[in-house]
Chain A
């Protein structure tokens, strides 16, 4: 464990908690893409199956359980409890265009052709593009609530910190995982446009609005 991975995990946890609290407290999921949240629940489910097979540390196990629990709770709030506030008309990204290619690629490019490894690879590739429905929805509505931008900021920051963690681990431990690194770079690049808007607008107290 190094400081970059720890702050990355805490940034990820912060994002997940911010979103869950935003929906719970405002009793509304307006502006939130339910499709992205379903994809994240799929990411955690397929990646953390090793909860049943391997014990790494209390930290590792408890964080995985928290991530899975919060992501399913968020999906439940969006599609069940606060379904009336779900903005289905703007959450129209065709997720099959993400899941099918990612599924195919995880069979073609992986470290080991075993079920757990293919599911892990699928989850790594899926996480890289899981935010696209959310970013697409914001581009369609032309704006985002400030709390939603903070959620996206911490979510994008987490994988950027993981990139630094992988540099650190390669240098100090000779450890690297090319699949995770390439997917992590793609994932972080997808946030660059948002990061620019976040820094130039939200941090200056303005509302995030895109030229519609």
Chain B
């Protein structure tokens, strides 16, 4: 599962 932990959400 392609998991990217990007914090671009509020």
Please list the residues of chain A having a beta carbon within 8 angstroms of any beta carbon in chain B. Answer: 5, 9, 12, 50, 54, 56-57, 60, 63-64, 67, 111-112, 120, 162, 165, 174-178, 180
User: Measured between alpha carbons, how far is A45 from B9 in the docked complex, in Å?
Assistant: 15
User: What residues of chain B lie closer than 8 Å to A180, measured between beta carbons?
Assistant: 9
A-B contact count (CB 8 A): 30
Contact residues on B (Cβ < 8 Å of other chain), bracket: 10 to 19
**In contact, A176 and B10 (Cβ under 8 angstroms):** no
Overall SS of chain A's interface: helix
6 closest A-B pairs by CB: A174-B2, A111-B5, A56-B8, A175-B4, A63-B10, A9-B10
Q: List 13 A-B contacts (CB under 8 A).
A: A5-B9, A50-B7, A54-B7, A60-B10, A63-B10, A67-B10, A120-B7, A174-B2, A175-B6, A176-B1, A176-B3, A177-B3, A177-B5
Distance in angstroms from A42 CB to nearest chain B CB is 16
Q: Which residues of B contact A57 (CB under 8 A)?
A: 8
What is the CA–CA distance of A120 and B7 in the complex, to the nearest angstrom?
A: 9
